[in-house]
Amino acid sequence: MTDITAEVRAAAIAAAVTAAHTAVAEQRGEAKEIVYKGEKITLPVARVSLDHVILNPRSHRIGAQVQSLASDEAALLVEDPNGVEAQALISRLLAGTDGFPNIKNVLRQEGQREEGVITDQGVLINANTRAVALRELGERYIKVIVLPSDATEREFNDIELRLQMARETKQDYNFTSQLLFIEDLTKSSWSVEEIGLLLRPELGDNRADRKQAKNLVETELRLLGLVRELIVHGDGRLKFTDLDDKRQALIEIDLDYNSMKNKNRPLADRVRDAQFTAMLSNIDYRRIRNIDDALLEDYLTQALSEETALSGRVSTILGETTSTADEEEDLGTGLLAGITGSAPSPTAVVSFEGLLKLVAAADKEGTVELPATDDKPAVSISTLALTSAINNAFRTALDNRQQDSNAGDTLTAPTRALAQAARILDNARTAYEAVRSNAQFDSDAFDTAAEKLQRAYDALLEVTAEEAADIPLFDTDDDATEQPRA
């Protein structure tokens, strides 16, 4: 592309439009119907020099690639988008898209069959990829429809959406570029229902279909939010384009997260961090569905510890967070809170945020530094070794749980149940200490609950016949202030 002034470009395009109108009037030209500002209008197809069209830096076909650029290149597209350097950069991005070789081959064999759309200033609304391919093929002109001069950003997005996403060529958009396009549409005064109906033209204008259209767009926007969260976790090293093949995994994670977050946000965050880590370590989305808090608690931490590459550093990498009363309710703490009249104090649980950040910020072709521990210095390992170890740990944990499940869980169920009970009793003791001197504390209810617990413990001892363990958990005499021993 040569460096042409805006005035020269606009004049050349205006001349091409005039010539196209004349050709149509003389029945030797072609005109096409487009939807413009909600109405169908007919405009002539003009032949414009490829030197006079501008590759669109805001083309949503390369939205993810633009978002993934280094800061200096991204700045170039903002500061001088029509300049020679910026245009060369956009051309390179378009030529690097998956569909470019096929488009170029079709143009070589059949020529340009479908016209593009440009503004009266020469900016391509669509057909950016075709323009690059035509230039590489040595062509001089591109067939386009030139929009009226009153077209705004809303019209640009409307036409791009209709021409590119609502037709068979929509698969050319990569996953993250489509998410960014949808976000841009919401910023252009489009309702989510309108966007959804254009994305899914087979939907009708009835209540059920409009709701489906709305849900579709809201899901896409949530997926974009997940993508951005991962990029933040990776301190910017992870790029939009790195996640183009993760759509189904992100859908699974989104479904799980939304089913949990209103009931127990800390638990939902913890499971999501683990699922993110699994996804970035190339665990298949079908197995990500099975990653839940029980897997993290009972299987995954142990499996990570058994990986040689992580040996002795797992607890340091993972770190801890605190559980809430809601989070422990699944283990029965909610019942204890009802008895004591006070929620248990938070307890420490394993966090997976540290592991997620380690993976998300890793240079895919480089190394990762594992943190030092009390007895081990920091050490660098390859990113491949890290992700392989994590992938293997997830698969081991999932396989082990499946084996336990297939065996009726008979081998591990008693031990896991006692471990859960121990955590519950720790919470009960802490809660009891906090309220035992409170005049409003219902000591009778506490005594009743303690008696039930003692009977359950006695029944366990009868089964195990471990006389040495025959120690009462609680003294259930009249002194309601007696402290639990477990």
Residues 484 and 429: beta-carbon distance below 8 Å: yes
User: Region 323-339: what's the mean pLDDT?
Assistant: 46
pLDDT score for 330: 47
pLDDT digits (tens, 9 = 90+) for 54-109: 999 988 888 999 999 988 999 999 999 999 999 999 999 999 988 899 999 999 99
Asked whether residue 253 carries a pLDDT value surpassing 90, the answer given is yes
Token readout for 378 is 């920091």
pLDDT score for 139: 96
pLDDT score for 386: 95
Residues 369 and 378: beta-carbon distance below 8 Å: yes
User: Region 286-297: what's the mean pLDDT?
Assistant: 94
Give residue 190's pLDDT band: very low, low, confident or very high (50, 70, 90).
Answer: confident
pLDDT score for 321: 66
Q: Please state at what angle helix 265-280 crosses helix 207-233, rounded to 10 degrees.
A: 70
Give residue 343's pLDDT band: very low, low, confident or very high (50, 70, 90).
Answer: low
Task: Select the highest-mean-pLDDT range: 134-138, 185-189, 337-341, 441-445.
Answer: 134-138
User: Region 247-258: what's the mean pLDDT?
Assistant: 96
Asked whether residue 219 carries a pLDDT value surpassing 70, the answer given is yes
**Residue 248, beta-bridge partner list:** none
- Give the HSE-up count for residue 5: Cα atoms under 13 Å, Cβ half-sphere: 3
Token readout for 14 is 């205006």
Which amino acid, residue 427? N
Asked whether residue 340 carries a pLDDT value surpassing 50, the answer given is no
Q: Is 127 exposed, middle or buried (0-12, 13-18, 19+ CB in 10 A)?
A: buried
pLDDT score for 277: 97
| CA distance linking residue 144 with residue 47, whole number of Å | 6
Tokens 């996953």 found at? 175
Asked whether residue 168 carries a pLDDT value surpassing 60, the answer given is no
User: Region 332-345: what's the mean pLDDT?
Assistant: 47
User: Region 454-483: what's the mean pLDDT?
Assistant: 59
Asked whether residue 345 carries a pLDDT value surpassing 60, the answer given is no
- Which range among 27-31, 206-210, 398-402, 433-437 shows the weakest confidence by mean pLDDT? 433-437
Q: Comparing 323 with 394, which gets the higher pLDDT? A: 394
Closest CA to 454 of 436, 432, 477, 434: 477
Average pLDDT of the residues of the chain = 84
Report the b/e string of 15-51 with b at 16+ CB within 10 A: ebbeebeebbeeeebeeeebebeeeeeebbbbbbeeb
Token readout for 420 is 């859960």
Q: What does DSSP assign to residue 311?
A: T
| CA distance linking residue 150 with residue 135, whole number of Å | 29
pLDDT score for 229: 95
| CA distance linking residue 382 with residue 365, whole number of Å | 8
Give residue 349's pLDDT band: very low, low, confident or very high (50, 70, 90).
Answer: confident
Asked whether residue 433 carries a pLDDT value surpassing 80, the answer given is no
Token readout for 442 is 């219902």
pLDDT digits (tens, 9 = 90+) for 200-210: 888 888 899 99
pLDDT digits (tens, 9 = 90+) for 6-26: 999 999 999 999 999 999 999
Asked whether residue 36 carries a pLDDT value surpassing 70, the answer given is yes
pLDDT digits (tens, 9 = 90+) for 372-412: 988 889 999 999 999 999 999 999 999 999 888 776 656 66
Q: DSSP 3-state assignment of 188?
A: coil
pLDDT digits (tens, 9 = 90+) for 232-242: 999 989 999 99
pLDDT digits (tens, 9 = 90+) for 116-140: 999 999 999 999 999 999 999 999 9
pLDDT score for 256: 95
**Phi-psi sector, 111: left (phi>0), alpha (psi -120 to 50), beta:** left
Asked whether residue 243 carries a pLDDT value surpassing 80, the answer given is yes
Which amino acid, residue 170? K
pLDDT score for 420: 65
Give residue 166's pLDDT band: very low, low, confident or very high (50, 70, 90).
Answer: very low
> What's the distance, CA 108 to chain centroid?
38
Asked whether residue 177 carries a pLDDT value surpassing 50, the answer given is yes
